[in-house]
DNA sequence: ATCTACATTATAATAATTCTAAACTATTGA
DNA sequence: TCAATAGTTTAGAATTATTATAATGTAGAT
């Protein structure tokens, strides 16, 4: 979903009813210059800030999962006790800032193509993801 | 900790009291040919199978974290709602079988060295990890 | 043997997420 | 247009993984 598009139409196209909650979530998620990385908690906060009527937590979960299933959000594994999502659903890698807990996209020029020599019989590769953890230079090494 | 070593001595060396719970956990974790990948739940099950007296859940958590802090276990980020640990603490990459939820170590020859061109100012790289998700060849693509 | 600091334990607390079932609403088609 | 219905939202309960608490137990030193 590119920015400033008609979210009502887009939602209908992919078979999701354009409820006001979903349209609002589209605006918050996709009306941006850059891709957006967030946890459910981040999103709930953002939504409650930008709305007069709040969206229930269950709906935020439902909708995030619905968007993920349709391929408009991607879950990123970083932390074992919180889910991070990314509005950039293309295959790409990440930096994770361990000080601020921020995710940063890598673009293609940042990391050479990963060459995998091993083959697991009967299995196909679904995805290859690199996570580069970074932290402040001038503090005790993790 | 290599296999068949004296865990009591090893524990003392790194400043951990060799309690019977810790020694038992060492045996279960490190008396193996291959490296071991597990969730806390896997480990609790294994321990209760192999012991007459069961180790409490809190102790399993405490001990796993103690071993991790000492550098004898490494946490792997795969799944956002469960922690996976690895007895292989060297820098290495993984395959994750999405059918069986099994982790498989990559060795150095499996994946070329990752070359990172991007630099985040004021930050140093703590780790670089590749996760290759695989799944059965003959089923609906994820 | 006794002391003390560290460990273990059961249980309570917390946090993230999912489930449930009732109320609500977008769409369909009479 | 409006009722039927299928999909959605919601609050709150339930679940799951994990951490905290505080009482009891134990290893190692004196």
Domain assignment present for residue B114? The answer is no
Q: Give the H or E element holding residue B28.
A: helix B20-30
Tokens 């070329």 correspond to B112
Is residue A5 predicted with pLDDT exceeding 70?
Answer: no
Q: Is residue B109 in a domain?
A: no
Asked whether residue A78, judged by its CB, lies under 7 Å from any atom of the DNA or RNA strand C, the reply is no
Examine residue B96 and state whether it is found in any structural domain, yes or no.
Answer: no
Q: How confident is the model at residue A24 (pLDDT cuts 50, 70, 90)?
A: very high
Range of the domain at B65: 7-76
Is residue A55 assigned to a domain?
yes
Number of domains, chain B: 1
Task: Write down the pLDDT at residue B79.
Answer: 77
Candidate from A54-58, A117-121, B4-8, B34-38 with smallest mean pLDDT: B4-8
| Assigned domain for A75 exists | yes
A-B contacts at Cβ under 8 angstroms: 131
pLDDT tens column, B92-122: 999 999 888 889 999 889 999 999 999 899 9
Q: Which residues of A89-112 are buried (b: 16+ CB within 10 A; e: fewer)?
A: beebbbbbbbeeeebbebeeebbe
Give the pLDDT of residue B99. Answer: 87
What's the CATH code of the domain at B33?
A: 1.10.10.10
In a domain, A134, yes or no: no
Where residue B101 falls (left for φ over 0; alpha for ψ -120 to 50; beta otherwise) is left
Residue A96 lies in a domain: no
How many helices (H) and strands (E) chain B has is answered by 4, 6
Residue (of A106, A126, A128, A94) closest to B142 by Cα position: A126
The pairing of strands A94-97 and A123-136 is parallel
Q: What tens digit of pLDDT does each residue of B32-67 get? A: 999 999 999 999 999 999 888 899 999 999 999 999
Q: Provide the positions of strand C that have an atom within 7 A of a protein CB.
A: 6-11, 15-20, 25-27
Contact call for B125 and A141, based on CB within 8 A: no
B21 lies in a domain?
yes
Cα separations in angstroms, B98 against A49, A60, A74: 37, 26, 16
The percent of residues above 70 in pLDDT, for chain A, comes to 94
């Amino acid at each position: 979903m590119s920015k400033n598009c008609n979210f009502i139409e887009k939602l209908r196209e992919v078979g999701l009813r354009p409820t006001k909650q979903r349209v609002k979530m589209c605006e918050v998620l996709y009306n941006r210059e850059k891709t957006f990385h967030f946890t459910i908690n981040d999103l709930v906060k953002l939504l409650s800030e930008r709305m007069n009527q709040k969206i229930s937590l269950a709906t935020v979960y439902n909708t995030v999962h619905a968007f993920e299933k349709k391929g408009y959000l991607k879950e990123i594994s970083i932390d074992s006790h919180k889910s991070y999502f990314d509005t950039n659903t293309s295959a790409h890698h990440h930096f994770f800032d361990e000080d601020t807990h921020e995710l940063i996209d890598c673009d293609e020029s940042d990391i050479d193509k990963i060459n995998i020599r091993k083959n697991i019989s009967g299995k196909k590769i679904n995805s290859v993801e690199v996570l580069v953890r970074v932290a402040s230079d001038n503090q005790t090494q993790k």
